[in-house]
Amino acid sequence: MTLLNPRQEKARDLAREMQKLDGVWVTNPMPLDDYAKLRFQVLDSRKTEVLQMLADWGWSPAWCSNLPRITGNGWQLASVYEIDPLPTERQPVRDDRQTIPRAEIARPKKTDTEVEAVMRYLGWKK
């Protein structure tokens, strides 16, 4: 058995509670991936009460699509929703850029032969 992070534990607990409801199916494999949202399908006949129950629990599911569901009564229309259990933990990004002094960028060293060649090209020296 693997140890779950707090986000996966919260998703697991929410999925268990939702599976107890009639007409609700959690479609994600568990444990929930670190970057995935918890997806579930709910029959349209139960949609209003399930969404209200989730709102009472403090969740705000987002609608994804409508898909048919095969039940004991045949095909029934169902909606797919997703919930983000917790924001994902972001990995800190280390700033490893080097700062280059301005003088080194704008003023490359030129040899005397280069300077003389440019002056001859411009006609300033013969």
Residue 104 has pLDDT above 60, yes or no: no
Report pLDDT digits (tens) over 30-66. Answer: 888 878 889 999 999 999 999 999 999 888 999 999 9
Q: Residue 63, SS3?
A: strand
Query: Whole-angstrom Cα distance, residue 83 to residue 37?
Result: 6
17, containing H or E segment? helix 6-19
Confidence of residue 101 (pLDDT cuts 50, 70, 90): low
Fold of 6-83: Hypothetical Protein Ta0175; Chain: A, domain 2 (3.90.1070)
Residue 96 is encoded by which pair of tokens? 């490893």
> What's the token pair of residue 15?
């999925």
Domain range annotation of the chain: 6-83
pLDDT score for 105: 59
| pLDDT value at residue 82 | 93
One DSSP character per residue, 75-126 reads EEEEEEEEE--SPPPPPPPP--PPP--HHHHH-----HHHHHHHHHHHTS--
Q: Which residues pair with 41 in a beta bridge?
A: 25, 80
Tell me: the pLDDT tens digits for 66-89? 989 988 889 999 999 999 877 666
pTM, whole model, 2 decimals?
0.64
